[in-house]
Amino acid sequence: MISSRNPMKDKVAIAAAATTGFQPRNTERSRASYAAQACIQVLRDCGLTAADVDGISGSTPPAPELQTILGIPEISWFAEPVIPFVNQLSAAVSAVHSGLCEVALVYHAAYREAWSTASALKDPFRRPLSPGVSPGPETIFGGVGYTAWASRYMYEYGVPKEHFGYVAINGRTNAAANPAAAMHKPLTMDDYLSARMIRWPLCMLDMDVPVDGADAFVVTTAERARDLPHPPVLVQAAALGMVDRHEEDQTPSLRQHGQQVVVETLKAKSDFWIDDADVYFPYDGFTIITLNWLENVGYCGPGEAGHFIKEHWDDKTNRILINGRVPVNPHGGALSEGGTQGSGHVREAVHQLQGLAGERQVPDARRAIVTAGGFFFNAQGVTLRRD
């Protein structure tokens, strides 16, 4: 049952966002060092010190570890939600709104690990203490699930692989203007179609880039954020949507999974939707996820995302520009900035709304929609507006 009740609307702000930038290789640094760097940077950007922080939300590294890394003297609240990142963010927003804390440090460090890239194991510091035993390949649990649903998408809607390719090309074009991005080399449709197949029907360029790096945020009350150096970005609504039978192979259909719940919830709790959004951030951990988000948020009907993208493709800049105006993942997304499990999408949304997005800046961006995550346990979204 979806409710429109939303007492926290516009009461809590993201005061600042910072990133270390992302590297598509095993760097000679720890995950904790990236988290620490992003957190220190975002606190300094706000003119805050460790003593100003009384809440922490983050899971990689765990929040208690981060407190002692940064020497934060006392906190009254912390959380370690599972990814993707709207979970970390919305936990902090509700904690600030309810009074569990007043200044929450929220972060996510992406790190190349065995689950995202086998080459992580070349680094002895990344090898797990006790290597897991595989149950065998006969499962679509985890990322394989998106590949399976991509086969279903192609079957049900009769669409070609090129429709997935548009998403990859859009991300790469946008990443070229983002100094924090891992991938900058431009991409053609031929590059996409000839890329190494990993799990048919998805190839290497359908999957996000495993990276090292971190994002961090300061979340506080709207009142307090107005006294800090950057324009506050107000959180209108957040949603973490799931449907029953959300296991990868039991999920009801492409038209009935977590994303539809997220969309209905955000629409019920927010003052604006896609017609009034200036920039849109659909998750792109796999290209199929982005196609489905475009359909589910209402830009087009089921199976029409590829046609929609073609129709709204800006040939001059070689990327999506919805109605000639709204860019999609202008930072390059998980596919080309790096696989940050959504923190990159939120960070870029904040920078766009603060007017801090550099050469990627959308003129006078006031409202942003972030729809993070995929179909199963992990469909999420947040609507943001400039104060």
Partner 1 sequence: MDELISDEELVTRFPGHTLTRDNAAHYRGRLAHRLVINRCGDCGTWRHPPKPVCPACWSWNIVPTEVSGQGSIFMTVFLHQGPPAEGVDYSTPYPLITVALDEQEGLRFTSTVVGAAGDAIRIAERVELDWIERSGTPLPVFRLASTTAGSSAAGTSTTAAVTEAGR
Residues that bind partner 1 (CB under 8 A): 132-140, 144, 147-149, 151-152, 155, 196-201, 203, 244-245, 247, 249-250, 252
Instruction: Rank residues 111 and 153 by Cβ distance to partner 1 and give the closer one.
Output: 153
Give the shortest CB-207-to-partner 1 separation in angstroms.
12
Could you check whether the bond before residue 124 is cis, i.e. omega within 30 degrees of 0?
A: no
Least separation in angstroms between CB 133 and partner 1: 4
Continuous segment of H or E residues that includes residue 86: helix 86-98
Provide CB contacts within 8 A for 84, sequence distance 6+.
283, 341, 342, 372, 373, 378, 380
Integer Cα distance of 164 and 150 in angstroms: 9
Distance (Å, rounded) from C-alpha 351 to C-alpha 196? Answer: 34
Nearer to partner 1, 29 or 199 (CB): 199
Q: HSE of 43 in the Cβ direction (CA atoms, 13 Å)?
A: 22
Decide whether 227 or 247 has the Cβ nearer to partner 1. Answer: 247
**Least spacing, CB of residue 249 vs partner 1, in Å:** 4
> Whole-number minimum distance, CB 363 to partner 1, in Å?
42
What is the DSSP secondary structure assignment for residue 22, as one 8-state letter?
-
Smallest gap from residue 121 Cβ to partner 1 (A): 13
DSSP 323-337: TTTEEBSTT-HHHHT
Assigned token pair, 59: 């899971």
Would you list the DSSP string of 25-75? S--SS-HHHHHHHHHHHHHHHTT--GGG--EEE-TTTTHHHHHHHHT----
Q: Which is nearer to partner 1, 12 or 150 (CB)?
A: 150
CB of 135 to partner 1, least distance (A): 4
Between 59 and 147, name the residue whose CB sits nearer to partner 1: 147
Tokens coding 350: 């904040």
Q: How far is the CB of 146 from partner 1 (least distance, A)?
A: 10
Of residues 90 and 117, the one with the C-beta less far from partner 1: 117
Q: For residue 265, which of 92, 90, 113, 30 has the smallest C-alpha distance?
A: 90
Residue closer to partner 1 (CB basis): 104 or 261: 261
Which amino acid is residue 272, in one-letter code? F
Residue among 156 and 276 whose Cβ is closer to partner 1 = 156
Least distance to partner 1, CB of residue 204, Å: 10
Select 128 or 229, whichever has its Cβ closest to partner 1.
128
Beta bridge partners of 212: 23
Measured CA to CA, the distance from residue 67 to residue 61 in angstroms comes to 10
CB of 379 to partner 1, least distance (A): 19
Tokens of 153: 């998408």
Residues 6+ apart with CB under 8 A from 114: 120, 121, 126, 127, 128
